[in-house]
Amino acid sequence: MKLKKATIFVPLTILATIAILAFSNDNRKYQLSRQISIFNAIVKELDLFYVDTIQPKKMIDKGIESMLKNLDPYTEYYSEEHADELKMLTTGKYAGIGSVIRYHDKKKTTVLTDPYEGLPAAKAGLRAGDLILSIDGKDIHQLSTDSVSDMLRGVPGTKLTLEIERPGEEKPRIVKLERESIALPAISYYGMHNGNIGFIQLESFTENCAKNMRRAVIELKQAGATGFIIDLRGNGGGLLSEAVDIVNLFVPKGLTIVTTKGKIKQANTSYKTSKEPIDTESPLVILVDGHSASAAEIVAGSLQDLDRAVVVGSRTYGKGLVQTTRQLPGGGYLKLTTSKYYIPSGRCIQALDYSHMIDDGKSTRIADSLTTVFHTAGGREVRDGGGIRPDVEPKEEELSTLLLYLLQDIALFDYATNYRLAHDSIAPADKFTISDKEYEEFKEYLKSTKFNYDIQSLKALEQLKKMLEFEGYTGITKDEIASLEKKLQANLDYSLNHFEKHIREIVESEIIARYYGRTGSIIYSLREDDDIKEACDIIADAKRYKKILTVVADENK
């Protein structure tokens, strides 16, 4: 009898579980349907009875935006008129004039900062530093760069007229251009460095970037490269499939690189290498930083997990989520997170937990103490959560407040523009330097612009003064605080001399960009970049390279 009771109990338990799940599912569907009905009713009531005429599209778009804010920042709605933005993210293509722009806060208008070679702006003779006064007769002063960007973009083959003010010229120029389909290069530069090292800077993971990477690696090997540095710093990611194909260039066919897991069956996919590699032996270093995310982390993390590359730099962003796009009625799209991805060791490197928002609406970061240890193919310890931790982290020099302000201020940009007007040519990018006299001229120019910056220690002192006053110590510390306050007052001359080395590098890079574009700036950066120097040292030292990728034996065992 006991056996029969047990036999009867098991299926009854299963039936009860199924009933609870069915009820839970039906209840969720009911709640969803009910809330949608309420939303529809509110919109209809507002349309019928609100005192003023409502704008349905604007109102509902705002509602959608607010709703999605409760999820992760990668789930976004693109209305029909902004669908091109999504296309550009995945393909790197758009139709326009082919130039980077920024707002010139002193001129109160938009300025061209980087016309790409061979594209409409550059072909029309436009330069970095040219100010846009009007587009097709419409004054653009005070307009945001987003608004101006929308005006510059359009259907390929359509024409537009720009009124341009070039520094050093009295009269504005009228320039006519024809919009073209622009494909931003995923690889901003590749070339030989330090004699036998192939250097590749990959900006994004857009369509066909793996093919371009393959071509670059082959050309560099033909040029004599016996080791490679791939720079993924600042690379925010892109297409997962392109990342897998890039990893495939350096590892054998048939390896599982990424596994995705989501709510529905279709979101669960494995991505394997499907082609024969180009190079599985040459030493390989991947450069990363805190802005390396998503597909960039897949490449760095997978090559680390497979012990195929040494990762150098600082910890990556930590985006372990995968997005897909769904077309919506009316021509819009929803880009939504459908799964998490796991790299060869089995780890997911997602750093932020969006399922548990804190009171101010921000997500919580997974503490290092709560991460789990995984192992590479050779047995090295790696961890999930919190991004990719580099194998080697060169000591970073923290930028001073002055340098941070200088990089953002328009004064540096204007100085380089004026330098370009005064000099027809300069030395090659890898050799150019400004003279001591020119540095003194830059210092005087900067002071003439009323350049100002905040000293963080002075702000901290203000907080200390408030605390001393609160605790009643103002009287006995008055003289010391006054003396310290005097010493901490922003002294531009002192700072320009103290940080001369770094300021020179910033100024020289900005000037080089006027003559040789972004390629020139990258070539220049190879001279002083600490991460690149470390990468070169690792590649040159075969024993060190092998040691980094090998499990260290525990002497206590």
Looking at residue 523, its pLDDT comes to: 94
* Displacement of CA 69 from its chain's centroid (Å): 20
461-473: average pLDDT: 82
CA proximity to 194, closest of 540, 552, 542, 490: 540
Looking at residue 301, its pLDDT comes to: 97
- β-pairing verdict for 269-272 and 197-202: unpaired
Assign residue 364 the CATH number of its domain: 3.90.226.10
80-108: average pLDDT: 84
Looking at residue 316, its pLDDT comes to: 96
Stronger pLDDT, 515 or 557, i.e. the higher one: 515
CB 283 within 8 A of CB 227: yes
Residue 88 banded pLDDT, cuts 50, 70, 90: confident
Q: Is residue 303 part of a domain?
A: yes
The residue range of the domain holding 434 is: 401-454+490-526
For 486-504, give one letter per residue: b (16+ CB within 10 A) or e.
Answer: eeeeeeeeebbeebeebbb
Catalytic residue among 114, 245, 305, 414: 305
Q: What is the pLDDT of residues 394-432, one digit of tens each?
A: 987 766 788 888 988 999 999 999 999 999 999 999 999
* 319 catalytic residue (yes or no): yes
Looking at residue 490, its pLDDT comes to: 60
| Residue 93 clears pLDDT 80, i.e. is over it | no
* 294 catalytic residue (yes or no): yes
Looking at residue 5, its pLDDT comes to: 44
Stronger pLDDT, 71 or 400, i.e. the higher one: 71
Task: Take residue 339 and report the two structure tokens written for it.
Answer: 């799964």
Rounded distance between C-alpha atoms, residue 315 and residue 328, angstroms:
37
- Please state, rounded to an integer, the average pLDDT across all residues of the chain: 88
Nearest 5°: phi and psi at 316?
A: -80, 175
Percent of the chain with pLDDT over 70: 91
Q: Is residue 39 part of a domain?
A: no
Stronger pLDDT, 509 or 12, i.e. the higher one: 509
392-394-400 Cα angle (round to 5): 150
Residue 184 banded pLDDT, cuts 50, 70, 90: confident
| Residue 2 clears pLDDT 50, i.e. is over it | no
Domain count, the chain: 4
Looking at the fold, whether 264 and 173 belong to one and the same domain comes out as no
Q: What is the pLDDT of residues 191-219, one digit of tens each?
A: 999 999 999 999 999 999 999 999 999 99
Question: What is the number of residues in the chain?
Answer: 557
Looking at the fold, whether 329 and 408 belong to one and the same domain comes out as no
Looking at the fold, whether 233 and 197 belong to one and the same domain comes out as yes
Neighbour tally for 416: CB within 10 Å: 23
Catalytic residue among 282, 294, 302, 314: 294
Stronger pLDDT, 36 or 359, i.e. the higher one: 36
172-184: average pLDDT: 91
| 375: helix, strand or coil | strand
Looking at the fold, whether 105 and 221 belong to one and the same domain comes out as no
Q: Is residue 544 part of a domain?
A: no
Rounded distance between C-alpha atoms, residue 284 and residue 308, angstroms:
7
Contacts of residue 329, Cβ cutoff 8 Å, sequence gap at least 6: none
| Residue 19 clears pLDDT 70, i.e. is over it | no
Q: What is the pLDDT of residues 307-319, one digit of tens each?
A: 999 999 999 999 9
Q: Is residue 548 part of a domain?
A: no
Looking at residue 6, its pLDDT comes to: 45
Looking at the fold, whether 233 and 256 belong to one and the same domain comes out as yes
* Cα-only R_g, the chain: 29
Q: Any idea which residue has 């390896």 for tokens?
A: 255
CB 127 within 8 A of CB 166: yes
